[in-house]
Amino acid sequence: MNNTSHNSTIIQKKPKRKFNFIDFLIILVVVAIIGILIYVFSPWAHIEKLWTNNKVELTYSVEIKDVDIAYIESIKEGDNVINSVSKSSLGTVAEISKLEKAYVYDYVLNEQGEMTCIRSEHPQKYNITVKIVATAEYDKGVGYSVNGRRIAIGEMLDMRFPQYTCSGACTQIYK
């Protein structure tokens, strides 16, 4: 007789764990971290910026205040506008318009001893608007820039025309 002993081991099954909401959140966070790492370290993300053409033809208006009548005639369409600080081009004059008389404000004491402001036209000074056309770059974080100089509404620009140097504020941007 063959006496074989069967040593059978009983395999105990562990209780099955259910997939819950916390497990889902952990997987979601891990997938998000992997996605961010791929985006940051992927060479395609940086190459895409090189492929995109962010150069645009930009027309913008600059208001120049208190310009002497003699200098208004020296600014002509087609003149190159230079940034008087960095000496780089800001574009080409496309149009000169909106000639308005400049005003002078004088403060005087009236009969009651109070200070009052009197506004009067300046006989030789005008406020003008110069429309400039340039090739600009667009960056989502900065906006438009021409040769490294930011162009935005309200931005003060130091400009040099062939026979006149001045400062003016950008008042309008056309696309």
Q: Residue 26 belongs to what domain range?
A: 21-50
Give the C-alpha separation, 152 to 170, whole Å: 6
Tally of structural domains, the chain: 2
Q: What angle do CA 73, 171, 79 make, to 5 degrees?
A: 35
Task: Please indicate, yes or no, whether residues 124 and 158 belong to a single structural domain of this protein.
Answer: yes
One-letter amino acid at 99 equals: L
pLDDT truncated to tens, each residue of the chain (175 aa)? 455 555 556 666 666 777 788 889 999 999 999 988 887 777 766 665 555 567 889 999 999 998 888 888 889 999 999 999 999 999 999 999 877 888 878 888 888 888 888 888 888 888 999 999 999 998 877 889 999 899 999 999 999 999 999 999 999 999 7
143 in a structural domain = yes
83 in a structural domain = yes
Determine the pLDDT at residue 7: 54
Task: Please indicate, yes or no, whether residues 103 and 37 belong to a single structural domain of this protein.
Answer: no
Task: Please indicate, yes or no, whether residues 102 and 123 belong to a single structural domain of this protein.
Answer: yes
Give the C-alpha separation, 12 to 33, whole Å: 37
152 in a structural domain = yes
41 in a structural domain = yes
